[in-house]
Amino acid sequence: MNANDDGTTQGPPSPPEPPPAPEPCQPAKEAGDEHLMTTRDPVPPSEPPSAQEPSTSAEAGESGGPRQLSRGWRRASRALLVALGLLALVVVPPNLLNAIQRDKQKRTMGYLRTIATAMESYSIDNMQYVLINGRDKEASDALAFYLEPTYVKHLPRLDAWGHYFKVELDHSAQEYTLTSFGRDGLPDDPADPPASPGGGTTSFINDIVFYTGSFCRYPDGTQR
């Protein structure tokens, strides 16, 4: 023990503290890592797709969106179809128009045969034809009164062009004439194309005439 100047005694010096135990080995941090970790902005969590869909549809509704585009496309398609239809009417080939008129001639001749057959059947039972003369709705209705439904289920009243047939009987009611005045609905006159000696005609405006059992004026050959 050593004596100090102040008379106190001092014990032996305490042993030095052991050095601190080394910490477990960790990867060395490079310079600047701490700064990056503290200054980097946190990454926001991504939202699920379902949460973003309503906003997308809302934006589409505000700016028109697919629905408005589809509606505009339908309108444009309709306008295009109308334009094409009008164009087709303007440039219809003459052959097609001719075929339509020929079909009307054939149907008109069929209507005349139907009326004549009913009148012939009526004459067999009554020994004379129906005594009707005229070319209007009244005359057609009167003829139908005698022929429907016993001799014909439905009596044609109009030709294929929408004109009434003309019905004529002689005073003895033994001969009749049924006439369609063709496309124009007017009787033939000297200015119209004449009929051939056999009764054939070449124009859609010519009359079609059925006289007591057969045609005496009818379409024949190329029509115009």
> Is residue 5 situated within a structural domain?
no
Six token digits for residue 43 = 């990454």
Is 131 domain-assigned?
yes
Tally of structural domains, the chain: 1
Answer yes or no: is 103 within a domain.
yes
Q: What is the CATH number of the domain that holds 112?
A: 3.30.700
Residue 32 lies in a domain: no
CB 158 within 8 A of CB 180: no
> Is pLDDT of 58 > 50?
no
Residue 99 lies in a domain: yes
116 located within any domain: yes
Greater model confidence, 115 or 52: 115
- Per-residue pLDDT tens over the stretch 196-206: 878 899 899 99
Write out pLDDT tens, residues 124-177: 999 999 988 999 999 999 999 999 999 999 999 999 999 999 999 988 888 999
pLDDT of residue 180 exceeding 70, the answer is yes
Is pLDDT at 53 greater than 90 in this prediction?
A: no
Name the token pair of 174: 């033994």
Q: Among 16, 186, 210, 193, which residue's Cα sits nearest to residue 120?
A: 210
Position 166 in a domain: yes
SS (HEC) of 151-201: CCCCCCCECCCCCECEEEECCCCCCEEEEECCCCCCCCCCCCCCCCCCCEE
Residue 7 inside a domain? The answer is: no
Please check the confidence at residue 34 and state whether its pLDDT lies above 90: no
177: containing domain: 94-219
